[in-house]
Chain A
Amino acid sequence: MTIEKGKISNLQFTILFAAYLLASDPVLAVAGTPTKNNGWLAVMAAFVTGSIIIYIFTSLCQKFPGKNFVQINSLIYGRYLGAIISIGYLWYFCHLSSLQIWWFSAVYVITIMKNTPEVALYITFILMSAYALRKRVEVLARSVVFVFFIIVGITIISEFLLLKEMEIKNLLPIMDVPMRDFFVATFSITTLNFGETVCFVMMMGRVTNVKTLKKSVFTGFIIGAGLLLMISLTTTMVLGPVESIAFIPSFHMYRLINVGDIFTRMEALLLGMLQAMGFIRLSLSLYPAVTGAAQLFNMRSYLPLILPVAIIAGNLSYLERGVELSLDYAVNTAPYYNLPFEFIIPLLSLIIASVKEKRNPKERKSP
């Protein structure tokens, strides 16, 4: 029995995918640190590696239309091994949610709300996303689509307002970093910005037309990654070398906006936008954790689990606070930790599913 009965259209799914990628913008600043002013090149390289990861888990979900990832695991690996793998993913999604709560709250605590206890911000984010999740996937999809267009609108307007601050010479010198550091940044962006879209595996079975799923996913990927690349280029052209040492480069960039001494100090706009991005990231990371847990324990509805799982994620965030550790974590640890969940297990599952399908073509049609 599938835990989620709602459906979302392919267009909504495309926008959700693009929104999730665009909302990973604050992480990009950290993941691209090793490349200094060549972050945009690392984004382009990660575009290729990221698309391989996305292709693999999308192909896997397309092989099992209407099924979510927990069901796919039990079909491929059997009841017990499948359950163990699913528990691993539950931890991964719950931890991913905790990182979103921590990250987007840290932005506020570091910039303008220095005396506010972090817990107050955690509760705000948790309640906001839990409320959206309680309204089920259709409402979540509609609200994310609405928020996404606001973020894109603000981003594009700010690009125009920053035009006079941009200097192409800030992009130079190109590739003036050791190749090793460039690969580290590319690996980090691949797994943190693009690979984390693996959380859509719990939602892919609910798309109305599964046959065109790949088209929807890759359209969303191109839109989201394109917007990320645009933001990365703008940040480098406006800030130059400062970009690689700032925790939130966009915050310093928005401070520079000055239109006739009337539109100044626009960083509040950015912080509003970050709140929206936090909502998107947290809701879409929490959704697979909650639905996955409900599916694994064969519940009738996932609604009762939303707040307990969100509170567990909030507790993990509280344990994880500390900026220095997270900078090190994003570049040196997260890529290796994420790789099995984003690439190795889905690839193995895809291979096993393909072999099973060749041996017994009828099995897939009646799982």
Chain B
Amino acid sequence: MIVLLILAFAGLALYEIPQLVRKKQIRDLVVFLSFFMLAFVLSGLQIVGVKLPNPLTVISNIVKLLGTYRFKP
């Protein structure tokens, strides 16, 4: 699975980076690489099986602090 992930991201990098380098768009390249690395690290961690917090649970816990009425089905 991790090999597939690396291959997919390598394909994406090989498609985007040469175009940005050729056009000398260094700022675009830096921003692209930042998002690219974030996406890669997140995907990698999930494939390896690292438990990351569920955003919905985090948001729910913050909203619970407001003490609003909660509907129970």
A residues touching B (Cβ–Cβ < 8 Å)? 33-34, 95, 98, 180-181, 184, 293-294, 297-301, 304-305, 307-309, 311-312, 315-316, 318-320, 322, 325-329, 331-333, 336-337
Contact of A319 among B12, B55, B70 (CB under 8 A): B55
Taking a contact as CB atoms under 8 Å apart, the answer to whether A316 and B55 are in contact is yes
Interface string of B42-73 (1 = CB under 8 A from A): 11001000001111110110110010111101
Having A184-B71, A308-B32, A337-B62, one finds 18 other A-B pairs with CB under 8 Å, namely A184-B69, A299-B27, A304-B19, A305-B32, A307-B39, A308-B12, A308-B38, A312-B35, A312-B42, A315-B46, A318-B46, A325-B56, A328-B60, A329-B56, A332-B60, A332-B68, A333-B59, A337-B59
Given contacts A297-B27, A319-B53, A337-B59, contact A308 B35 (CB under 8 A): yes
Residues of A within 8 A of B70 (CB): 332
Residues of B within 8 A of A95 (CB): 55
A258-B40 Cα distance, complex, nearest whole Å: 48
- Chain B min CB distance to A188 (Å): 9
B17 — nearest CB in chain A belongs to which residue?
A304
Taking a contact as CB atoms under 8 Å apart, the answer to whether B60 and A333 are in contact is yes
Taking a contact as CB atoms under 8 Å apart, the answer to whether A315 and B73 are in contact is no
Tell me if B31 is interfacial: C-beta within 8 Å of chain A. yes
- Chain B min CB distance to A1 (Å): 12
A-B contact pairs, 25 of them (CB 8 A): A33-B73, A34-B71, A34-B73, A181-B71, A184-B69, A298-B27, A300-B23, A300-B25, A300-B27, A301-B28, A304-B28, A305-B35, A308-B12, A311-B39, A312-B35, A312-B42, A315-B39, A315-B42, A320-B55, A325-B54, A325-B60, A326-B56, A328-B60, A329-B56, A333-B63
- Chain A min CB distance to B56 (Å): 5
Taking a contact as CB atoms under 8 Å apart, the answer to whether A299 and B60 are in contact is no
Taking a contact as CB atoms under 8 Å apart, the answer to whether B71 and A309 are in contact is no
A311-B16 Cα distance, complex, nearest whole Å: 15
B residues touching A (Cβ–Cβ < 8 Å)? 12, 16, 19-20, 23, 25, 27-28, 31-32, 35-36, 38-39, 42-43, 46, 52-57, 59-60, 62-63, 66, 68-71, 73
Residues of A within 8 A of B23 (CB): 300
Counted as pairs of residues, one from A and one from B, with CB atoms less than 8 Å apart, the total is 92
A320 — nearest CB in chain B belongs to which residue?
B56
Residues of A within 8 A of B12 (CB): 307-308
Taking a contact as CB atoms under 8 Å apart, the answer to whether B71 and A331 are in contact is yes
A290 — nearest CB in chain B belongs to which residue?
B35
Taking a contact as CB atoms under 8 Å apart, the answer to whether A325 and B39 are in contact is no
Residues of B within 8 A of A297 (CB): 27, 31
Residues of B within 8 A of A311 (CB): 39, 42-43
- Chain A min CB distance to B19 (Å): 8
Residues of B within 8 A of A316 (CB): 55
A329-B73 Cα distance, complex, nearest whole Å: 12
Between B27, B53, B55, B68, the greatest number of chain A beta carbons within 10 A of the residue's beta carbon is seen for B55
Taking a contact as CB atoms under 8 Å apart, the answer to whether B63 and A337 are in contact is yes
A307-B39 Cα distance, complex, nearest whole Å: 9
- Chain B min CB distance to A130 (Å): 10
Residues of A within 8 A of B56 (CB): 320, 322, 325-326, 329, 333
- Chain A min CB distance to B63 (Å): 5
A309-B31 Cα distance, complex, nearest whole Å: 11
A241-B19 Cα distance, complex, nearest whole Å: 57
Given contacts A181-B71, A315-B42, A332-B70, contact A308 B28 (CB under 8 A): no
Residues of B within 8 A of A325 (CB): 54, 56-57, 60
Residues of A within 8 A of B66 (CB): 336
- Chain A min CB distance to B43 (Å): 6
